[in-house]
Amino acid sequence: MKFTPTAIPDVVVVEPRVFGDARGFFMESWNERSFSAAGISARFVQDNHSRSAQGVLRGLHYQIKQPQGKLVRVIAGEIFDIAVDIRKRSPSFGKAVTITLSAENKQMLWVPSGFAHGFYVTSEFAEVIYKTTDFYAPEHERVLLWNDPALNIRWPLLGDPLLAARDGAGNTLSDIELFP
């Protein structure tokens, strides 16, 4: 596997080695030794799988207690994926990393705890699988407003995004609970 730090070095693009032939392909999507050697010593406790239609925007979510690191990959379709640093003492506080993840490119994104995360579906539909380092705790979930002007995110919108009510009612960066 190839591990490439992004503009925010804690957020890492993971490119698996893909072995393909006429029958299909094989790849490792998680290997504890490889990730540990790259400095990512995550213990995963939950796998999540979502399917979303084109134009769906999910996020920007985080848990203030029981924070979740996430290893995100797409198994069908394509998404515009984003991680926003909300660690108040971080030199990259308020900055975002964006990447296109797709079933075709097979790249994954490691999003450590301390980041708000979300994605926008650019294909007809997308299926997203992500491993988490802690269990989902709805009582601790918070939402950073996806279109907060302070974030200066250039979403590749195809029209008005389809949002859950909680995502449309998120708080701005200046009003959210932050990580230490």
Tens digits of pLDDT across the chain (180 residues): 999 999 999 999 999 999 999 999 999 999 999 999 999 999 999 999 999 999 999 999 999 999 999 999 999 999 999 999 999 999 999 999 999 999 999 999 999 999 999 999 999 999 999 999 999 999 999 999 999 999 999 999 999 999 999 999 999 999 999 988
- The catalytically annotated residue of 120, 130, 136, 140 is 130
Q: Is 130 annotated as catalytic?
A: yes
Q: Is 61 annotated as catalytic?
A: yes
- The catalytically annotated residue of 61, 62, 117, 120 is 61
Q: Can you give the pLDDT at residue 179?
A: 87
pTM of the full structure:
0.95
Give the chain as a 3 state SS string.
Answer: CEEEECCCCCCEEEECCEEEECCEEEECCCCHHHHHHCCCCCCCCEEEEEEEECCEEEEEEEECCCCCCEEEEEEECEEEEEEEECECCCCCCCCEEEEEEECCCCCEEEECCCEEEEEEECCCEEEEEEEECCCCCHHHEEEECCCCHHHCCCCCCCCCCECCHHHHCCECCCCCCCEC
Does domain 2-168 fall under CATH 2.60.120.10? My reply is yes
| Domain extent listing, the chain | 2-168
